[in-house]
């Protein structure tokens, strides 16, 4: 296995996000205009960062149905954010999942998997308490624009 100097490795990894790229900030979707201190998504070069989504509807209300209802709504919210930027779930390369109760992992995972086809995006998951609006779940994603 070849060894890389950490600076070289970081330069390779960060090159699409270089200083020459001008970030574009987008504030749309169900949480837009509510005074939250974040953008729905940010595009830097060919990478789109979608902020963590909780299961709120267009009225900024947490949907009913616990983990099942929230998961469906979150995935619809993420799908809307991707679509507004010209992308889809097949363009997602990484997701991070925050669960209020890791015991609900199976229910979440079944619904999550229905939005993707193999090969699945890279993913990290962790237990978290105190999620926004008392949510059971929050999911953030990173997507990549296809090469032309």
The number of folded domains in the chain is 1
Residue 4's pLDDT is 34
Summarize pLDDT for 74-96 with one digit per residue, the tens.
Answer: 999 999 999 999 999 999 999 99
In a domain, 3, yes or no: no
Whether 8 is in a domain gets the answer: no
DSSP string, 65-98: SHHHHHHHHHHHHHHHHHHHTT--GGGEEEEEEE
Question: CA angle, 27 as apex, 22 and 33 as ends, to 5°?
Answer: 145
Residue 10 lies in a domain: no
Higher pLDDT, 59 or 95: 95
Classify 39 as helix, strand or coil: coil
pLDDT score recorded for residue 12 = 38
Q: What pLDDT, on the 0 to 100 scale, is given for residue 39?
A: 79
The verdict on residue 11 lying in a domain is no
Residue 120 lies inside a defined structural domain of this protein: yes
Residue 9 — pLDDT band, cuts 50, 70, 90?
very low
Q: What is the CATH number of the domain that holds 60?
A: 3.30.1330.40
| Structure-model confidence comparison of residues 38 and 146, the more confident one | 146
CB 91 within 8 A of CB 145: yes
Radius of gyration of the chain (CA): 16
- pTM for the complete prediction? 0.82
Give the structural domain span for 43.
Answer: 19-144
DSSP three-state, residue 141: strand
């Amino acid at each position: 296995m070849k060894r890389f100097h950490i600076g070289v490795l970081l330069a390779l990894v960060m090159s699409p996000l270089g200083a020459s790229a001008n970030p574009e900030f987008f504030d749309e979707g169900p949480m837009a205009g509510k005074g939250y201190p974040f953008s729905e998504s940010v595009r830097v070069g060919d990478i789109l960062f979608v902020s963590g989504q909780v299961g709120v509807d267009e009225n900024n209300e947490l949907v009913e149905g616990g983990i099942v209802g929230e998961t469906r709504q979150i995935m619809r919210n993420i799908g809307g954010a991707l679509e507004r930027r010209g992308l889809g779930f097949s363009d997602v390369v990484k997701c991070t999942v925050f669960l209020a109760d890791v015991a609900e992992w199976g229910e979440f995972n079944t619904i999550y998997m229905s939005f993707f086809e193999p090969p699945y995006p890279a993913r990290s998951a962790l237990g978290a308490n105190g999620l926004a609006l008392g949510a059971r779940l929050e999911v953030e994603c990173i997507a990549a624009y296809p090469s032309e």
